[in-house]
Structures are given as structure tokens and as C-alpha cells.
Structure 1
Amino acid sequence: MDDLFAELDDGAPQELAAGVVLLRGFVREQASLLLAVAQITQAAPFRQMSTPGGYVMSVEMSNCGALGWIADRHGYRYVAHDPLTGEPWPAMPEAFLALARRAGLEAGFADFSPDVCLINRYVPSTKLSMHQDKDEADFSAPIVSVSLGLPAVFVLGGLQRNDPSQRIGLSHGDVLVWGGPARLRYHGVLALKHGNHVELGACRINLTFRQAA
């Protein structure tokens, strides 16, 4: 697995496929992001959501922005209020918005203006099954995914569930962007390996920026 993290380590944007760009070590100032995550999740706590079929997701989630993504027995969708608290989702911090816009621009997607940030918390053995991000109203905007904490292996598939996939090692500060012809590619995260990150301990935080409305 180490080769997944070593093969692209020069700091330059790496186009992994049409519409898929890896920005290795792109996040330089992580402390402000981690503080913002703590503040957001104090108001909108992490929780494990359930799929319409009753499966409980292993990843813990929260949101910030004008809308938040949820899953329950009624389906997958975006809502303006946190169903756990009844309150609007916390506002998206300016540092989040600036980072997402800058990453989108660097990856070739100008004018990206996310209205949602889905915050995922992984602990060892947590994984994310292969899926498409398709609950958004407009697929012209990319997905910007920021990795913080323990390293993870991101699995990028094709436009069909059974298409061949590739594995991408993501470390603290890496950003992966996909859009255009890659916007609806299946993707997931392999089970997180045990470890200890100097700032986050045995944990990985993923910030996923989307333009939902």
C-alpha cells in the first residue's frame, strides 16, 4: 500500500484520469480547518446514518452549509435543517469555502461555489462502499474531497458499478477533485487501517464539498 502514497509525491497537480485531479499536500493550514470541524460538530454532532434498506453506515457524518446531506428510511437527499437538532446546519466557514474554490480552480474547475460540506469521520475498520454522488440538482460542478488525519485508500471506479477501479492513496492534506466526464464515477474508501495521527489520533476526517442546489 505504501506505493500508493509514494508514487505521486512532487506536489504538482496530477491528472489521474479525465476529470480527476489529485492535489498532493494541497492543504497547508490544517489547524484552522480542524478547529472549524470541532465547532461545527459541537452544534451538529457526528452521527451514523441509516440507508433506506436499514443498513447503518459505519462512517460518522455531519454537515455544514446551506444544505446538508442525509440518509434515512425515506431515501438520500439534501435538507436545510439537521434532523437531529431541528436547527439549520452550521454555516460553512469562510476557510472551507476558500479552500474548496482554490482546489477547484487548481484542478481546472473555475467558479466552483459549494453550498454543502459533508464531514465524514472514519475510525479504524470504517469504510465507505462504492457509490455515486448523484443527489445534487446539477452535475456540472465537481466534487472536492479533502483528507485530514490517518491515510486512506480511495477507490475510483467507472460510470458503471462493475467497471474496473483504481486505488489512490490519500494522506493528511491531500485533495482529490473529480468532475466533468468523471463526475458520476463510482467511488469508495477501503477499511481504514489502524494508526495514530499526531493531530487527530486514530481518526480520519474527510471534507467533501458539493454544489447541491
Structure 2
Amino acid sequence: MINSATESHSGDYSCMGRRGYNFTGWTDKPKATLKAETRIIPAGGSVTLTCSVEGSTGWTFFWYEYGKYYYVVGSSGNTEPDGSIRVSEGGKYNCRGKRGDPGFYSEYSEYVTIQKTVSKPTVVLNPGSSLKEDKVNLVCRIQEGSYWTYEWRKNNLNYYQTSKIITADSGDYSCKGTTPNKPSLILQPNWSQIYSGEKVTLR
């Protein structure tokens, strides 16, 4: 029994209860909880993510996007003592807490998926083209981001999959863009520290 804890007693502790012949299970690490004010970012906006560890205080929080450190603007890295950050990009986010020095880490929170609303694409007449010509060059433009896959429709029917088309046919033309989700990297087992010689699996 430790009556007065000192630095020499530092370490990871767990406990269990016993009453008569009945035993409880061993305690688990506390787990961080991540909440989002909304899961859809409006065009040009941002959302607030809040990380907490129930039942205790004094935590510094670490943030991750797709399993990698998420750099927090205004901090020295990916940490945020207040437990709240604002994000303006879609992605899969999670967090965990650290308390003390050298530090006790909570379990990672569950992932929260945030989606970003982007502006609708616009169809523009390519510079140099003229409506008086036999053919026109139409371009599908999306302001936000890159790596879009484009799809054209003519008179509400599928037409081409490209960002630009050249056509001599009259009709109602529209386009849309899709972008693939970023891959996520998962570490198994989900250890906070890895030492030389240990084996882990990346998925």
C-alpha cells in the first residue's frame, strides 16, 4: 500500500475489487471522448472538435487525422491544452489525452468523420472558343482542392468523364466532381510507445 506517493512510485497502475468470493475485473485505461458540434463543414467554414477524458482534469490533448499527427494552428505541434480545436478540412479525426511527466496516456478516442461542403462546379466556355464556331470547348471548374474526377451529363444523360469536352452538339450540359477519400493508417496493437525489437502491424 502506498500511503504517500513520490516520484519513485511513477508508473501505470490498475486495480480490482473483491467482496467475499466475488472479484471485479481489472480497471482499464481511461478513454478519450471526441465530440463534434456538427459533422458537415459548410462551404468556407469550420467546425469545433472537443476532446475530453471523463472524470478527471489536467489533461493535454493530442490530435490525429487519419492516424497521423494533426498540426494544431497556434500550438507547438499537435497538442491543445483546452481540448477544443477548429478544423476546416474534411477527414477522420481522433484524439487522446496525456497527463503528468513523463506522461500517462489515455486510450485513443473513436474516430469522428467530418465532411466538407464544397462549392458547386461551374461550366465555363474555354478562352479562345466562340459560340459562332462549329465546336466549343467547355471546362468544368471546382474552386476547392484538386484530384477531382469529373463527370459530364448532356440533357441529363451520362456523357463523358473528363474535365474538358469539345462538342458541336446543342443541349443542356452539366458536370460534377468527386474526390476519393484519403487512406487511413491504423497501428495494431494501439500502443502509445514502441521500443526497439517490438513488432507492430500497419493497416
Length-normalised TM-score, structure 2: 0.22
Name the structure where strand makes up a greater proportion of residues.
2
Name the structure where helix makes up a greater proportion of residues.
1
More relative contact order in 1 or in 2 (CA 8 Å, sep 6+)? 1
Length-normalised TM-score, structure 1: 0.21
Larger Rg over CA atoms? 2
